[in-house]
Chains A and B, each alone.
Chain A
């Protein structure tokens, strides 16, 4: 495959307008999705806590976010005296713009069933239902989510205040740590697909899977572990509970955005929820087949399936928040470095060995068995090393090794 067929021919005004239309639609969708997500989160968390939640503004309180947004726009905008002014003003946009850009590579629809190219026809032109399909695809997502770290970090640093600074320090350490696990679980998918393009990743998952009953989705073909790792790492990357140490209210007032008010605070808020939506969309794309699904609702059904899957993830994030208490900082780092990264690396190697065995025609049972034995040995070694290090840390007596 070689990118969007829309741009393969002569690019005239009509095609430019189609692209602009897609951009505007995606932008509008994201804004509405954020509005919905804020309301949805407040409502569902309220339900989980036997409360009612917002219900005054509009039907079922749907317009509550709009009301909050308008209120924030008209609030007094403060910049602290000790703030680094230019960086302080820049930081919210550094958080917001990557959140927008991230969504550009997500395929929102198109029929991939039965070897379909996943194109739709707009005004006589075949095109992908995604803003852009760059060859680097999913790497772009990783790059953007890394840039978002700068927004949080610079916001905390430039506030000229201690709690935001602590929040920023936590943010940079946490997001850099979990970026590794995130990247490695993406790599597991990319290894099997053989392409970085999100369109190719979705096309790879189309149709019926092994056995003809189960779907052909990445979550099954990569063996579930990369999906679980990605979900955990994404939650940490989004600074959502239970990994919200960056803005832990009880410890850091508001973390990196303590000194922000008015529209600047609204931008951070927007970016945070937008990232939640986009990360969910990336997960749907990588592991749940994107818009794949039976064509029950005509030409719109891939898009409907996409949104249904997206909603499941949004609910999952709210569910996490309603259920799990916040991690302690050392627990967070332990989980990231001693569990997620080794596990994702090991699973990546195992998938690589299986792929190689298939190409070379080796006996798959031997390869998988041998691989698992090697990985278990590695896990045992790592566990022993971690235990030893912990014992040294706690000043406990270390037994003499038995000869």
Chain B
């Protein structure tokens, strides 16, 4: 029938099975998320409570959406915030612009910024869309801070590691091309994915003179 075939096809579709599913709102269970989902960022700390961010602005430089604003400052000698010479004095992410590409996670030399699996955060005004350092920095236990408009469920705050980094973690050229997982405060190290040998950045560096992955240069 030529021209009219299309009409028959679309009409028959009316009675076919649906391929999409429901997404529960409110009290319902969340659908399972892919392991590599890119969600809301967190700024991590070391075990001793020091901030990982050294204020180098590489994340801001690499961000294609220009949504990150960082200003570094010298660490106070008597009460340092981060192990390095400098620390992230101002750290802001504008979630109206962020496209969750994870390039900031890739760029970070100290694994300070990683992404959680949370994407259910619908703020109601533009000021709330800009997450400042207070909101991004994890608490003393290493868990993300939870804003009132974010829908966290039990257990979700454990998934905050930089899941897969395609390039060199810790900025070390010997890791170039190897997939690495960042270990985090309180949550250990993730198992590698299937068909990957144990090449964890934090526990099994390939060379004998392994740099302290958490060292950040101090």
Contacts and interface: CB of A to CB of B under 8 A. Distances in A.
B13 A48 contact: yes
Contacts of B6: 323-324
Interface in A28-52: 44, 47-52
23 contacts: A44-B14, A47-B13, A47-B14, A48-B10, A48-B11, A48-B13, A48-B14, A49-B13, A50-B13, A50-B16, A50-B17, A50-B18, A50-B19, A50-B20, A51-B19, A51-B20, A52-B18, A52-B21, A52-B22, A55-B22, A319-B7, A319-B10, A323-B10
Interface string A323-364: 110000000000000000000000000000000000000000
B29 to A, nearest CB: 16
B98 to A, nearest CB: 21
Nearest to B7: A323
B118 to A, nearest CB: 21
Interface of B: 6-7, 9-11, 13-14, 16-22, 25
Interface string A371-400: 000000000000000000000000000000
A30 B3 CA distance: 33
Contacts of B18: 50-52
A56 interface: yes
Contacts of B14: 44, 47-48
B18 to A, nearest CB: 5
B31 to A, nearest CB: 14
A322 interface: yes
Interface string A285-325: 00000000000000000000000000000000001001110
A55 B25 CA distance: 12
A49 B16 CA distance: 9
Contacts, number: 32
Q: How large is the interface on A (under 10, 10 to 19, 20 to 34, 35 or more residues)?
A: 10 to 19
A52 B10 contact: no
Contacts of B22: 52, 55
B43 to A, nearest CB: 32
A47 B19 CA distance: 10
Contacts of A55: 22
A56 B28 CA distance: 13
Interface of A: 44, 47-52, 55-56, 319, 322-324
Q: Give the top 4 A-B pairs by smallest Cβ distance, nearest first.
A: A48-B10, A323-B6, A323-B10, A322-B10
Nearest to B20: A51
A52 B21 CA distance: 8
Nearest to B22: A52
A322 B14 CA distance: 11
B11 A319 contact: yes
Contacts of B17: 50
A55 B24 CA distance: 11
Contacts of A44: 14
A71 to B, nearest CB: 12
A56 B25 contact: yes
A50 B11 CA distance: 11
A297 B121 CA distance: 52
B23 to A, nearest CB: 9
Contacts of A324: 6
A319 B14 CA distance: 11
A48 B18 CA distance: 10
Contacts of A47: 13-14
Contacts of A49: 13
A55 B21 CA distance: 11
A120 to B, nearest CB: 36
Contacts of A319: 7, 10-11
Given A50-B18, A52-B22, 17 more contacts: A48-B10, A48-B13, A48-B14, A49-B13, A50-B16, A50-B17, A50-B19, A51-B18, A51-B19, A51-B20, A52-B18, A56-B25, A319-B7, A319-B10, A322-B10, A323-B6, A323-B7
A315 to B, nearest CB: 10
Contacts of A56: 25
A105 to B, nearest CB: 31
Contacts of A51: 18-20
Contacts of A323: 6-7, 9-10
Contacts of B16: 50
Contacts of A48: 10-11, 13-14
Nearest to A56: B25
